[in-house]
Amino acid sequence: AQSVTQLDSQVPVFEEAPVELRCNYSSSVSVYLFWYVQYPNQGLQLLLKYLSGSTLVESINGFEAEFNKSQTSFHLRKPSVHISDTAEYFCAVSGLRSGGYNKLIFGAGTRLAVHP
Amino acid sequence: DTGVSQNPRHKITKRGQNVTFRCDPISEHNRLYWYRQTLGQGPEFLTYFQNEAQLEKSRLLSDRFSAERPKGSFSTLEIQRTEQGDSAMYLCASSLGSGTSTDTQYFGPGTRLTVL
């Protein structure tokens, strides 16, 4: 079984400041890791994912996350945030299952509030 | 728009009534998932379909819940004898089903259920 802990329920930050959203997971098997973003009144959108290979993964809008197996973490970072980054961010994990599908296990979410 | 669609977007019902939600996945996506999201929490897996076959059901899916995916296209989720604890956002996601566990899940906007 897998579980995900997002250590901060809310993160307030000023525009153009750096931000880190923390995510830790537990699993007895190899996992795939995801960050999803949910903008107000919109559905979940995949931000980035780690499947294998390089432990540093990047999104098209400047976010990056690093898979750290020894610390079982997958923290999300952005060096300079914009007002438009205000949203709820969910970390998720899935383990390889028979049949090949990935049931996602989500954390409780972190609300990022960017202030001018 | 060729994304995942869900109807209705909002449903208010009285305790004890039956409700049915519909999900239309992205065309040609073989895999379909239902999740439930309560306030302040991340989505929780409910059930999974590979084409028309329901291959996994969470223990969260009591016998009052039933899901179908006839012909492997759209899916319905029915809740019988609704209870106030059923109030939540019900999310549908679909993925291509490429034979591995790494295909991306695309989420619909959700159906928000309020049970009075």
Exposure letters B100-113 (e unless 16+ CB within 10 A, then b): ebebebbbbbbbbb
Q: What is the pLDDT of residues B25-57, one digit of tens each?
A: 999 899 999 999 998 899 999 999 999 999 889
Cβ of residue A46 closer than 8 Å to a chain B Cβ = yes
Q: Which of B41, B44, B43, B35 is nearest to A108 (CA)?
A: B41
Residues A18, A77 contacting (CB under 8 angstroms): yes
- Model confidence at A28, in pLDDT bands (50, 70, 90)? confident
Tokens standing for residue A8:
């901060």
Q: Which residue of A has its CA nearest to B89?
A: A43
* Residue B99 clears pLDDT 80, i.e. is over it: no
Q: What is the pLDDT of residues A45-102, one digit of tens each?
A: 999 998 888 888 889 889 999 999 899 999 999 999 999 999 999 999 987 665 556 7
CA distance B68 to B75: 6
- Residue A25 distance to chain B (closest CA, Å): 14
> Which among A42, A100, A107 has CB closest to B99?
A100
- Residue A14 distance to chain B (closest CA, Å): 23
AA identity, residue A56: L
> Which residues in chain B have Cβ-Cβ distances shorter than 8 Å to A99?
50, 55
Q: What pLDDT, on a 0 to 100 scale, did the predictor assign at position A2?
A: 82
Residues B19, B78 contacting (CB under 8 angstroms): yes
Tokens standing for residue A87:
């949203």
- Residue A81 distance to chain B (closest CA, Å): 23
Q: What pLDDT, on a 0 to 100 scale, did the predictor assign at position B100?
A: 57
Cβ of residue B35 closer than 8 Å to a chain A Cβ = yes
CA distance A60 to A78: 12
